[in-house]
Amino acid sequence: MSNQTDYSKTTLKRKIEEFLSQGRSKFYFREMVEEAQVSVQDAENFLIPLLERGNIEGRLELRCPNCEAQLGTFKKYREIPEKIECEICGHEFSRSEENMNIVLEVTGTKFFRAQRISSTSHQEKANQTRNEEIVERRH
């Protein structure tokens, strides 16, 4: 079981680094779970310590269930009004988790280091590895 947990942590960290390398510091929790192909539980176990340390920040994005318009982001569930009227289509609805997406934003750069390897540095690494292999064969 711990091998699966380690795999999930590694996969999630790589997924966040991939988002950062694409210039994306914000992403949806659901999107990350689906793209990394990990369980919600593993994702939560990975993210909660990062939230607590301030490496990432979480918000709730409210969407209209009728027209899908984004109606704002909130730090806490209780900040969201119990009754909402969509500013776009006029649809009235009650606060519900079904109308929210968890949005995560990387705030600390110490934990995540976006890996951007240029083709020249990648080529240099390949050449160095080849040179090391040649030296090992000679000895």
Residue with tokens 């951007």: 116
Measured distance CA(17)–CA(22) in Å, rounded: 9
Q: Domain residues of the chain, as ranges?
A: 2-112
Mapping DSSP to helix (H, G, I), strand (E, B) and coil, where does residue 107 land? coil
What is the arithmetic mean of pLDDT over 65-90? 95
Residue 2 gets the label, from left (phi > 0), alpha (psi -120 to 50) or beta, of: alpha
Give the mean pLDDT of the chain.
Answer: 82
| pLDDT at site 62 | 96
pTM value is 0.69
* Rg, C-alpha atoms of the chain: 21
Q: What percent of the chain has pLDDT over 70?
A: 75
